[in-house]
Structure 1
Amino acid sequence: MLRGAPIIGEMVMKTSLAGLAAALALLLSASPALAGPSQVSPAITATKGRAAEHVKLDDLRKPSEILAFADFAKGDTIVDLMPGTGYYSELLSRVVGPKGTILAVEPAPSYDNDKARAAWQRLVADYPNVQLMPIDFRGLALAPDSVDGMMLHMVFHDLYWQSEQYKFPRLDVAAVLANFYRAVRPGGTVVVVDHVGPAGDTRDVVEKFHRIDPQTARSALEAAGFVFDGESDVLINTSDDMTKSVFDPAVRGKTSRFAYRFKKPE
């Protein structure tokens, strides 16, 4: 389900499921290296109007602290990459307000089930400034200088993942990040929150554990041109066993997660 938006620039996508090429129009329009305040307005994370399954995750995900760290603003256009059922899309919608836009960019196969469709039909109906974009990631091309920021919540590692079972292709990570860099406006922000993983071959680590070495993530974004702008330790868990997959019941929902913020130079 795609919602239209006022047009300035475009996002080009190829959807392998339909075998078609499509063009989507986008709505287009520095910060210190400290995490900033520990919370955002209580209205942002208020439980009323949010999906119950999202609210249950708040204690583990600490959205007030993470959104304060992200420092997105009203009126921003923000990409929420691989948002799942829209946990952060819902919250970011409140952050940017009715004059902002949240572009929920989701791999098309992940949307191709009744549960996902029902969740997104509710969310986009309740939050008109959220636009769902189920696409083939191999054809993802965000228009230059088209967004103010990006949120990658526990999905940066997936850029190094591939799966025939889940129809997720092997990506050229450097090319993907180069497109992200072109898409973010000067001064814009990219926030990455992900499961802390061990050092080693990145694709092997991701395949085994669905984690990533924080330095790998930082180095990849810096190589793309982004400037490291700070980190938050609010989700660090020193008792996490990094030799276990994030889906292992012993650690699921309790993994140690790093939170990094990057800026595109002015």
Structure 2
Amino acid sequence: MRYPSMLLLGLALAGAASAQDQPSGALVPPTSASEYTAGQLDRVLAGPWRPAAERARDAWRHPKATLDFFGVRPDQTVVEITPGAGWYSAILAPLLRDDGRYVAAVQAGGGGEARRDEAALRQRFAANPAVYGKAVIVTFDPKAPVFGPPGSADVVLTFRNVHNWAEAGTAAAMFKAFYAVLRPGGVLGVVDHRAAPGAKLEAVKDSGYLPVDYVVKLATDAGFVLDGQSEVNANPKDDRNHPRGVWTLPPTLALGEQDKARYLAIGESDRMTLRFVKPQAPASSASAR
């Protein structure tokens, strides 16, 4: 790990912050390898480049605990699939800037919301090169996705996207492509809206919620092994019974002012958090002798 480079990153980001939304906890350069390992994510989460509205959602999205569960480190190559306008990009790209590599994979030819999100992501990166200058954006065809050279990524992450692929019929192809881009031993981290136990896919997929066993099967059919499940993004207040599915809840609030206080009190959706691993390649007969 190139710890001196993190000192330069800290100084650069602190300077870039002056013209931005500036919280009290600006990024501070690490002073030792142990601080680098334990504290870099805290400094990034406090980064002044993160808008206040995005930081407010940490209470629902639990980025520190989530990334810790997935084992994300600043020296890895991490591919985030369909990052939207960049909520997690604002955490991952600076975290990986000097000693790792952040790749944002966006759908080619997306329309409507996808096109607006991609434009916002590119604008975010271009507006603050001190933070995002080394971030990479790649495009993919969801029917035949490729996210990079085979075995080139340490971690693939996707947040609240599998329900879209389930509806579009592209989920199996996506998971196979995750498997291809990961090195043996690499991690796939999945967060998505969690359906009630026993729910069937066809009955709930239009609501945005997904059965956990459906997502697990997508991954295991692609070759992954389920390595862990976390309740860090659980929300027991969410009974999943909403007129507009997950979009009834914040941040979308699809019903507008109707019952708004009620849905704000529930908060964001109940979510599964799953960690999968690509198995290590079996030892060759030569190496076994």
TM-score bucket of the superposed structures, by smaller chain = 0.7 to 0.9
Secondary structure, in 3 states, of the residue corresponding to 2:247?
A: coil
Instruction: For CA contacts below 8 A with separation 6 or more, give which structure has more relative contact order.
Output: 1
Matches within 5 A, 1:170-181: 170-171=169-170, 173-181=171-179
Structure 2 CA distance for partners of 1:62 and 1:39, relative to 1, 3 Å: farther
Name stretches of at least 5 consecutive residues in structure 2 with no aligned partner: 1-37, 250-262, 281-289
Fraction of identical pairs, as percent: 27
Determine the C-alpha separation between the residues in 2 that align with 1:77 and 1:67.
Answer: 14
Equivalenced residue count is: 220
Q: Which residue of 2 aligns with 1:242?
A: 240
Aligned equivalent of 2:115, options 112, 117, 125: 112
Structure 2 CA distance for partners of 1:49 and 1:136, relative to 1, 3 Å: same
Alpha-carbon displacement from aligned partner over 1:65-105 (angstroms, at most 9, x marks no partner): 11111111223221111111111122112332323222111
Structure 2 CA distance for partners of 1:53 and 1:119, relative to 1, 3 Å: farther
Name stretches of at least 5 consecutive residues in structure 1 with no aligned partner: 1-37, 163-169
Which one has the largest radius of gyration? 2
Alpha-carbon displacement from aligned partner over 1:32-74 (angstroms, at most 9, x marks no partner): xxxxxx9974112114121333222111111111111111122
Mapped contact 2:103–2:135 kept (Cα < 8 A): yes
Q: Which residue of 1 aligns with 2:63?
A: 63
User: Partner letter of residue 155 of structure 1?
Assistant: N
Q: Which residue of 2 aligns with 1:215?
A: 213
Q: Which residue of 1 aligns with 2:124?
A: 122
In proportion to residue count, which structure has more strand? 1
User: Partner letter of residue 156 of structure 1?
Assistant: V
Q: Is 1:254–2:268 an aligned residue pair? A: yes
Mapped contact 1:76–1:101 kept (Cα < 8 A): yes
Secondary structure, in 3 states, of the residue corresponding to 1:228?
A: strand
Alpha-carbon displacement from aligned partner over 1:226-249 (angstroms, at most 9, x marks no partner): 111112212212221123210114
Determine the C-alpha separation between the residues in 2 that align with 1:118 and 1:41.
Answer: 24
Mapped contact 1:196–1:211 kept (Cα < 8 A): yes
Secondary structure, in 3 states, of the residue corresponding to 1:140?
A: coil
Q: Which residue of 2 aligns with 1:151?
A: 157
User: Partner letter of residue 144 of structure 1?
Assistant: P
Q: Which residue of 1 aligns with 2:205?
A: 206
RMSD in angstroms over aligned alpha carbons?
2.5
Aligned equivalent of 2:138, options 121, 133, 158: 133
In proportion to residue count, which structure has more helix? 2
Secondary structure, in 3 states, of the residue corresponding to 2:268?
A: coil
Structure 2 CA distance for partners of 1:39 and 1:159, relative to 1, 3 Å: farther
Structure 2 CA distance for partners of 1:62 and 1:88, relative to 1, 3 Å: same
Determine the C-alpha separation between the residues in 1 that align with 2:154 and 2:127.
Answer: 24
Determine the C-alpha separation between the residues in 1 that align with 2:55 and 2:98.
Answer: 22
Determine the C-alpha separation between the residues in 2 that align with 1:136 and 1:206.
Answer: 22
Q: Which residue of 2 aligns with 1:232?
A: 230
Structure 2 CA distance for partners of 1:135 and 1:183, relative to 1, 3 Å: closer
Q: Which residue of 2 aligns with 1:263?
A: 277
Determine the C-alpha separation between the residues in 1 that align with 2:75 and 2:40.
Answer: 16
Determine the C-alpha separation between the residues in 2 that align with 1:116 and 1:97.
Answer: 20
Q: Which residue of 2 aligns with 1:14?
A: none
User: Partner letter of residue 158 of structure 2?
Assistant: L
Determine the C-alpha separation between the residues in 1 that align with 2:73 and 2:277.
Answer: 14
Structure 2 CA distance for partners of 1:157 and 1:112, relative to 1, 3 Å: closer
- Mean Cα displacement is larger for which, 215-224 or 126-135? 126-135
* TM-score under structure 1 length normalisation: 0.74
User: Partner letter of residue 182 of structure 2?
Assistant: V
Mapped contact 1:90–1:123 kept (Cα < 8 A): no
Secondary structure, in 3 states, of the residue corresponding to 2:269?
A: coil
Determine the C-alpha separation between the residues in 1 that align with 2:52 and 2:139.
Answer: 23
User: Partner letter of residue 120 of structure 1?
Assistant: R
